[in-house]
Amino acid sequence: MSYGSALATSYSKPYWDGLVQGLIRIQRCIACGNCQDFPQGRCRHCLSENLAWIDASGSGTLLTFSSVHRAPSPEFSKYIPYIVGMVSLPEGIQLMSRILVEDESELVLDMPMSAKPIQWPDTAYVLGFEPKRKTS
Ligand SMILES: [Zn+2]
């Protein structure tokens, strides 16, 4: 199984392992109850080291987005243009993510989103969100 192991640290390994399983794992402080991103050894709110990993709901709302037209490195050239955005989670954090639509005209600010971790570019699992599909 391939994932962004080069990106994983002892603090962030549960996050990266979660993406491989289709989950968003985030740190929640046992002392104050706040969640945080990016993973680290202390709570950024109260400095407690008493942190636990929880599975986020996978839902969120789109705060903002932008199309990328210039590849940040050669590995990404075959993907441009692609869309990145900030998604607000009900757990109280905001995550930068790939936004999985073909065209930004499909996006509206504050629209409901669903998490969908993907392999990108081809080898590493990264966080992705797509518009939440309406159920009839
Ligand atoms: Zn705390």
Q: Is 131 exposed, middle or buried (0-12, 13-18, 19+ CB in 10 A)?
A: middle
Instruction: Please write the tens of the pLDDT for every residue from 17-72.
Output: 999 999 999 999 999 999 999 899 999 999 999 999 999 999 999 999 999 999 98
Please give the distance, rounded to the nearest whole angstrom, from the Cα atom of residue 34 to the centre of ligand 1.
6
Task: Provide the residue ranges of all domains of the chain, joining segments of one domain with +.
Answer: 5-129
Distance from C-alpha of 51 to C-alpha of 68, rounded to nearest angstrom:
35
pTM for the model? 0.87
Please give the distance, rounded to the nearest whole angstrom, from the Cα atom of residue 50 to the centre of ligand 1.
8
Nearest to 85 by CA among 94, 101, 97: 97
Instruction: Please write the tens of the pLDDT for every residue from 73-126.
Output: 888 888 899 999 999 999 999 999 999 999 999 999 999 999 999 987 777 888
Please give the distance, rounded to the nearest whole angstrom, from the Cα atom of residue 25 to the centre of ligand 1.
17
Q: What is the DSSP annotation of 29-49?
A: ETTT--EESS--SS-TTT--S
